[in-house]
Structure 1
Amino acid sequence: MNKIFYALLIATALFSCKKSGTFPTPEPTPVVPTPPVTSYPLPTAAKDGVVFINGGTSAIVTLYAPSKTSVALIGDFNDWQATANYQMKLAPENNTWWVQIDNLSPNAEYAYQFLVDGTLKVADPYCEKVLDPNNDSYISAITYPSLKAYPTGKTTGNVSTMQANQPVYTWKNNTFTRPAKDNLVVYELLIRDFTTEHSYASTLQKLDYLKDLGINAIELMPVTEFEGNLSWGYNISYYFAPDKYYGTKTALQGFIDECHGKGIAVIMDMVLNHSFGQSPMVQLYFDGSKPTSNSPWFNIDAKHPYNVGYDFNHESPATKYFSKNVMKFWMQQYKIDGFRFDLSKGFTQNYTTGDAPFAAYDASRVAIWKEYNNYIKSIDPNNFYVILEHFADATEEKVLADDGMMLWNNLNYNMNEATMGWLPTSDFSWGFFNKHNFAKSENLVNYIESHDEERLNYKNINYGNASGGYSVKDLTTALKREEMAAAFLFAIPGPKMIWQFGELGYDISIDFNGRTGDKPIKWDYFTDSRRKALYDAYAKFIKLKKNNTIFSSPTYTYSTTGGIKYIKLTNGSNTVVVVGNFDVTSQTASIDFGASGTWIDAVGGANISLGSATFGATLAPGEYHIYSKQALN
């Protein structure tokens, strides 16, 4: 999320996304007398959250809660009463509470909570499913069949569930090979706004559309349990539970499996900069307005200017332990292929009040990210994607890139200025990795649209330049200029990202229905021949990139400042030149192609024959070509 979004988020969107209204403050619970705390060694079988033993008829349940005086387990198994048998023992290290419960049915799904210090009821931070009394009623039975009913009248607040013999997904595709980083074409997708059914199952039905487009990775905007239903997902509360509004755990696993079967990696948008008020980790150490000083995980006040929710302290051992567990869980249980870390620049304890010091080189932040990156590589060394939304000092980004991490690179403003025909601010050369002093193009993920940016075609149609009878505001013209921009984007070496429906020229503003509000889902665009032509052009550019190593060549020259822009790539004996006129009037090009003779137009135009090495031709506004000295695959 960019800084404009962070400035607006709390005031507008995430809290307004709840169908049931604003997030309710947990109701106070009458104080329940508790017996003296007993200390016993933690059983060797215990793990964070719940572990089933004895064939699923018993469970050991734990809660990490330093400084608390008592914790009891309440739930369906004891009619939500904090009886003596369910008082949790404190392990000798004085931080972890645990209890063993018996006489369970392995096939039954039990709801439960922790009653802390006799007053506070919280769900399990490690649970894989949450029941929400305010929002679950809006979840379709088609999306989530047989959803367990909330224990109304028994308790208040969110509750966890556990089940020994829960449905298990059987993976079909166990030999998936992830695309090389340099050849990655990512499709960023918000399930809520991609299909009208807003589910993993309905998104699965569109995989052939995406495969035909040629993308080889999908980046899912956050899918872990967030506040409300209608959200972008950055208001995270539970980190191990897929949000039920999109479907079941096995439906998500099935979606990932089917993606792998079609050669598509799945990247998860991971939100570990902050958490929100429904989080039990927030509630356990909270004074009514902010986290308390004894919180193992959160800062009392955020340490940077663009925080939302409550700010994690990533120098705390407890936060590092928790974050690593979250990463490992999704890597192992869901076979995720990569993480895009939201607001990675926020993993700092160096307090700043403005953007400039916040973005400056931060050695402690670098150390934190190197530690996390090394941990991820220890779990999965096989080309796992670690993508940072960083936007910090260039020298800091270079250190992270040299460690193998990939950095988001936003070309939205300058590329959109180019498509609109406003030339003085249309230089998009920041897309080339040499401008960042990176050693490899594979570490720079370029995009011209993301969930955070205004849609190019909205600005084309509303603010485009014009001259005579040529106007960027005309839809047909605007779409052709989108096509030209895409030709240049995919010619820049390195991985790429597309925002959903950008390939169809989506032209509804990001601020429609509020910035993070749900947007019209325009599958009818695909039946418009002009928009379908843009889709086909994207597909052609993507295939050219994936099938020809020259589009990953580190040898290139370019000019992206004037009306005539070009990129020249050289690889061995072949040369490719992408040239286009971004002005709104005809312009004459003069470009050194490096060789005379026949040049092939790779996008179906007429071949040209040069008598010298110089390409000199007059291009109409919006005209572009991809010329190659040798035939491309």
Structure 2
Amino acid sequence: MKKLFYLLLLVTAFNTACKKSSTDAGAEVPVSNVADLPAGAKDGVAFINNGTSAIITLYAPGKKSVSLISDFNNWSATTSVMKNTPDGNTWWVQVDNLNPATEYAYQFYIDGTLKVADPYCEKVLDPDNDQYISSTVYPGLKAYPTGKTTGIVSIMQANQTVYTWKNSSFSRPEKNNLVIYELLIRDFTTEHTYASTLAKLDYLIGLGINAIELMPVNEFEGNSSWGYNPSFYFAPDKYYGTKTALQNFIDECHGRGIAVIMDMVLNHSFGQSPMVQLYFDGTKPTASSPWFNVDAKHPYNVGFDFNHESTATKKFSKDVMKFWMQQYRIDGFRFDLSKGFTQKVSTDDATMSAYDASRVAIWKDYNSYIKSIDPNFYVILEHFADASEEKVLAEDGMMLWNDMNYNMNESTMGWLDNSNFQWGFYANHGFTKSENLVGFGESHDQERLNFKNINYGNASGNYVIKGNLGTSLKREALIAAFLFAIPGPKMVWQFGELGYDINIDYNGRTGEKPVKWDYYSDPNRKALYDAYAKFIRLKKNNPIFKSSSSTYNLAGGIKYIKLVEGTNTVVVVGNFDVVSQQANIDFGTPGTWADAVGNGITMGSTFYTATLAPGEYHVFSKTALK
């Protein structure tokens, strides 16, 4: 997990969090200020009367007074005093005489001490960070109401630009055929925008991926971030562009056959969040918070820990999910730290990872809700819990991240003792379908494979991995042949297909990394890209790579995977040692075999016997692959 990142951000969270909320201070709400919620109201803003009026609502149990302060009342705390519902939970006010074409800035003024933005708003103004967002990234950004208020403010507008979707008949790739490209917009192009990322779509199509997983794009603290410090869950972060630019990005991806998956962070939030600020003692949430635990329940938590057994948290989370599914036509969520959705107290990973019936029930409930909206939606969990728990979640249709980084990197470096990556096969998890296991050798969280190849690779005689770019890249092609041969959905971390070799801790673990599009013009790196493209094409075009019939030996220097589907058999074999090794593998049938990466062979027996040079590999098939 992003632990160091989060610990550093906690300092910012505490500094910017909020003034202490006086939950128990003040008099009772006057009877004259109690009224039922009007018809048509919803959390946040509901426009009525053709946008000339709005009902604005805040869920804030236990507060004594709430006023709406805004552009339209000159930020007065006495003009728009909000009414409280009889149960004491919700505050609301209707404002009239609005211009539907105007953006209005507004906040809630709580108990005479605290100003917060609307948790449900779709856009915010940040007095500290917006000044660093250029007009080319976000044109026409409304000016902050300097001198009128302080802190982050919400924006509302009745007649927003409505995006016209062009691709309404997009058919998502089947789970088993997914090749996901995990992408951080900040570090993918120097312009760090949806538009500049879209301009690289031909590159991704050439690679053959059929899904893009965007690291978090909803509002997070600061501008330059991995995005795992969320604050506003309905607002796209302006550092990457406008709402319509994001919708257009998704639409264009759909038009090119690419699904878009959103990284969703609902384990925690940080001090900039109005939901944190509403019930906060200056250090941590108070016991009266409807959403957050006072103290984290597990050792991986950062920021402030959501309580997913709380009715209020469940409602909020479902509102967030539904919003992105419907307003942005997202195809799936990858849920960050899904193992953290627990109220079971733990101080170590083993205890936290043990089967947790409450956590299973929480995820089944969320999955059921998502599927009630869109039955074919991808639900991907970064879970890493006990296999017995992951098996239950998989049987409910969810997909689980499967990290093979360590063992695959040992293989690419030529260190064989811990190089067995058979955990990539779904049956070893107790799963009945390969489609529920998303395998990868790299993600944003792991060290880059090629960085370790170049810095720590093995050597023997003239065969040297360490410090040798050409050899280290060929080792990357070798592991890719095996990765894409394992049945089930796969994920690639951005620029892994070019052998990105910048240390993950360069400029700080979550700091900005060099954008290396110049890699593509390097013949050795382009050769790796071409190898990835070939293996991805083979996976997508040949049903045998979904086979439920597999045998393998992934220990030692000579590794192989054998797949059988109908009359065809595929055997991927490679030498991961740094010296030549003898292969002796039962292919099952003699005769002529095609090789997708070289010349075919003819065998007089069922056994393939050959001496493979270090790093040499083949993709043999009884019937030539497409």
What's the TM-score bracket when you normalise by the shorter of the two chains?
A: over 0.9
Distance 1:301 1:522 in 2: 41
| Distance apart, 1:313 and its partner CA | 0.2
SS at match of 2:508: coil
Distance 1:564 1:550 in 2: 22
| Distance apart, 1:602 and its partner CA | 1.2
SS at match of 2:141: coil
Residue 552 of structure 1 aligns with an amino acid whose one-letter code is: K
Distance 1:34 1:513 in 2: 52
Does structure 1 residue 46 correspond to structure 2 residue 41? yes
Distance 2:261 2:16 in 1: 32
Partner of 1:76: 71
Distance 1:614 1:390 in 2: 40
Residue 151 of structure 1 aligns with an amino acid whose one-letter code is: P
Q: Is the 8 A contact 1:411 1:430 kept in 2?
A: yes
Partner of 1:9: 5
Superposition pairs of residues 319-468 of structure 1, within 5 angstroms: 319-381=313-375, 383-468=376-461
Partner of 2:487: 493
SS at match of 2:563: strand
SS at match of 1:414: helix
Superposition pairs of residues 526-565 of structure 1, within 5 angstroms: 526-565=520-559
- TM-score, normalised by the number of residues in structure 1: 0.97
Partner of 2:59: 64
Q: Is the 8 A contact 2:10 2:303 kept in 1?
A: no
Q: Is the 8 A contact 2:21 2:277 kept in 1?
A: no
Q: Is the 8 A contact 2:37 2:85 kept in 1?
A: yes
| Distance apart, 1:36 and its partner CA | 3.1
Residues 432-475 of structure 1 deviation map (CA, whole Å, 9 limit, x = unaligned): 01100100000000000000000000000000000001011210
Does structure 1 residue 101 correspond to structure 2 residue 95? yes
Distance 1:494 1:186 in 2: 11
SS at match of 1:375: helix
Residues 502-545 of structure 1 deviation map (CA, whole Å, 9 limit, x = unaligned): 00000000000000000000000000000000000000000000
Distance 1:341 1:35 in 2: 39
Distance 2:384 2:269 in 1: 21
SS at match of 1:225: strand
Q: Measured at CA, do residues 163 and 32 of structure 1 come closer, stay the same or move farther in structure 2, by a change above 3 Å?
A: farther
Partner of 1:55: 50
| Correspondence for 1:209 among 200, 203, 212 | 203
Partner of 1:472: 465
Residues 576-604 of structure 1 deviation map (CA, whole Å, 9 limit, x = unaligned): 0000000000001000001111000012x
Residue 72 of structure 2 aligns with an amino acid whose one-letter code is: F
**Identity across matched positions, percent:** 74
Partner of 2:128: 134
- TM-score, normalised by the number of residues in structure 2: 0.98
| Distance apart, 1:619 and its partner CA | 0.4
Residues 542-595 of structure 1 deviation map (CA, whole Å, 9 limit, x = unaligned): 000000000000001000001000000000100000000000000010000011
Residue 431 of structure 2 aligns with an amino acid whose one-letter code is: F
Residue 428 of structure 1 aligns with an amino acid whose one-letter code is: F
Q: Is the 8 A contact 2:416 2:556 kept in 1?
A: yes
Q: Is the 8 A contact 2:401 2:439 kept in 1?
A: yes
Residues 28-48 of structure 1 deviation map (CA, whole Å, 9 limit, x = unaligned): 899999983511111111011
Distance 2:298 2:64 in 1: 33
SS at match of 1:239: strand
Residues 150-177 of structure 1 deviation map (CA, whole Å, 9 limit, x = unaligned): 0000000000000011111110000000
| Distance apart, 1:87 and its partner CA | 0.4
SS at match of 2:322: helix
Distance 1:575 1:95 in 2: 63
Residues 160-210 of structure 1 deviation map (CA, whole Å, 9 limit, x = unaligned): 000011111110000000000000000000000000000101001001100
| Correspondence for 2:170 among 151, 168, 176 | 176
Residue 246 of structure 2 aligns with an amino acid whose one-letter code is: L
Q: Is the 8 A contact 1:29 1:121 kept in 2?
A: no
| Distance apart, 1:15 and its partner CA | 6.2
Distance 2:179 2:588 in 1: 29
Distance 1:431 1:32 in 2: 59
Does structure 1 residue 523 correspond to structure 2 residue 517? yes
RMSD between aligned alpha carbons? 1.6
Partner of 2:310: 316
| Distance apart, 1:93 and its partner CA | 2.3
Distance 1:136 1:100 in 2: 29
| Distance apart, 1:110 and its partner CA | 0.2
Partner of 1:91: 85
| Distance apart, 1:92 and its partner CA | 1.9
Q: Measured at CA, do residues 112 and 424 of structure 1 come closer, stay the same or move farther in structure 2, by a change above 3 Å?
A: same
SS at match of 1:177: coil
Residues 357-391 of structure 1 deviation map (CA, whole Å, 9 limit, x = unaligned): 0010000000000000000000101x210000000
Distance 2:517 2:469 in 1: 17
Residues 68-109 of structure 1 deviation map (CA, whole Å, 9 limit, x = unaligned): 00100001000101124x000011222110000001101000
Distance 2:481 2:624 in 1: 17
Q: How many residue pairs were aligned?
A: 622
Distance 1:68 1:610 in 2: 80
SS at match of 1:10: helix
Superposition pairs of residues 267-306 of structure 1, within 5 angstroms: 267-306=261-300
Residue 50 of structure 2 aligns with an amino acid whose one-letter code is: G
Q: Is the 8 A contact 1:27 1:157 kept in 2?
A: no
| Distance apart, 1:9 and its partner CA | 2.5
SS at match of 2:232: coil
Distance 1:352 1:117 in 2: 36
Does structure 1 residue 24 correspond to structure 2 residue 19? no
Distance 1:340 1:75 in 2: 36
Q: Is the 8 A contact 1:191 1:199 kept in 2?
A: yes
Q: Is the 8 A contact 1:34 1:118 kept in 2?
A: no
Q: Is the 8 A contact 2:20 2:280 kept in 1?
A: no
Residues 329-381 of structure 1 deviation map (CA, whole Å, 9 limit, x = unaligned): 00000000000000000000000111110010000000000000000000101
Partner of 2:560: 566
Q: Is the 8 A contact 1:491 1:567 kept in 2?
A: yes
Distance 2:26 2:368 in 1: 45
The runs of 4+ residues in structure 1 deviating greater than 6 Å are 28-35
Q: Is the 8 A contact 2:291 2:313 kept in 1?
A: yes
Q: Is the 8 A contact 1:359 1:392 kept in 2?
A: yes
SS at match of 1:491: coil
Distance 1:619 1:581 in 2: 6
| Correspondence for 1:509 among 503, 507, 510 | 503
Residue 377 of structure 2 aligns with an amino acid whose one-letter code is: F
Residue 112 of structure 1 aligns with an amino acid whose one-letter code is: Y
